[in-house]
A and B are shown apart, each in its own frame.
Chain A
Amino acid sequence: MDVLSRYEPLIDDFAAFRAACERPLPSVVRVNGIKTTPERARAALEEEGIDHEPCEWHPGLLRLDTDHPGRTWGAFHGWLHGQEEVSALPALVCDPEPGERVWAACAAPGGKATQLAARADDAGLVVANDRNLGRLSALRFNAERLGVTSMAVTNRDARNYSLAPFDFDEFDRALCDVPCSCEGTVRKNPDALDGWSLGYLDEIASTQEAILRRAIQATRSGGTVVYSTCTFAPEENEAVLDRTLDSENCRLLDFDCALDSRPGITEWEGERFDSSVQRAKRIYPHLNDTGGFFCAKLEVGG
Chain B
Amino acid sequence: MSEPSDGLAENDGSRFDRLPATAAEREVVGRATREAVLEFWDERYGIDPAVFADYTFWEKGSRKLWAFRGEIDSPIAIESLGITFLRTRQEHWKPTTDAVQRFGRHASRNVLTLSREQARRFVAGEDQEIEWDGDWGYLIVAHDLAGEREPLGVGLYLHGELRSQIPKGRRRELRGVDAGEP
Q: Is A140 an interface residue (CB 8 A)?
A: yes
Binds B, one of A14-22, A69-77, A197-205, A271-279: A69-77
With known contacts A144-B84, A166-B76, A76–B172 Cβ distance under 8 A: yes
Of all chain B residues, the one with the shortest Cβ separation from A41 is B146
Of all chain B residues, the one with the shortest Cβ separation from A150 is B69
A88 → B minimal CB distance (Å): 22
Taking a contact as CB atoms under 8 Å apart, the answer to whether A77 and B68 are in contact is no
B67 → A minimal CB distance (Å): 6
Binds A, one of B23-31, B107-115, B131-139, B174-182: B174-182
Task: Classify chain B's interface size.
Answer: 35 or more
Which residues of chain B from 74 to 94 have any CB-CB distance to chain A below 8 Å in the complex?
Answer: 76-84
Measured CA separation A181–B62 after assembly (Å): 42
Q: Quick one: which of B79, B123, B180 contacts A136, CB cutoff 8 A?
A: B79
Of all chain B residues, the one with the shortest Cβ separation from A47 is B180
CB-defined interface of A64-96 with B at 8 Å, one 1/0 digit per residue?
000000111101111000000000000000000
Measured CA separation A44–B174 after assembly (Å): 13
Measured CA separation A40–B147 after assembly (Å): 8
Measured CA separation A49–B172 after assembly (Å): 18
CB-defined interface of A232-258 with B at 8 Å, one 1/0 digit per residue?
000000000000000000000000000
Which residues of chain A from 21 to 59 have any CB-CB distance to chain B below 8 Å in the complex?
Answer: 35-36, 40-41, 43-44, 46-49
Measured CA separation A75–B77 after assembly (Å): 31
Q: Is B70 an interface residue (CB 8 A)?
A: yes
Taking a contact as CB atoms under 8 Å apart, the answer to whether B81 and A47 are in contact is no
Residues of A contacting B173 in the complex (Cβ-Cβ under 8 angstroms): 71
Taking a contact as CB atoms under 8 Å apart, the answer to whether B80 and A76 are in contact is no
CB-defined interface of B120-137 with A at 8 Å, one 1/0 digit per residue?
000100000000000000
Residues of B contacting A140 in the complex (Cβ-Cβ under 8 angstroms): 79-80
Among A36, A136, A149, residue most surrounded by chain B Cβ atoms (within 10 Å): A149
Taking a contact as CB atoms under 8 Å apart, the answer to whether A48 and B101 are in contact is no
Residues of A contacting B80 in the complex (Cβ-Cβ under 8 angstroms): 140, 143, 151-153
Q: Quick one: which of A122, A145, A147, A167 contacts B73, CB cutoff 8 A?
A: A167
Q: Is A148 an interface residue (CB 8 A)?
A: yes
> Which A residues contact B (CB, under 8 angstroms)?
35-36, 40-41, 43-44, 46-49, 70-73, 75-78, 122-123, 125, 136, 140-141, 143-145, 147-155, 165-167
> Which B residues contact A (CB, under 8 angstroms)?
54-55, 67-70, 72-73, 76-84, 98, 101-102, 123, 145-148, 150, 152, 169-170, 172-175, 178-180, 182
Give 6 pairs: A residue, B residue, CB < 8 Å, sorted on A: A43-B146, A44-B146, A47-B182, A145-B170, A149-B55, A149-B68
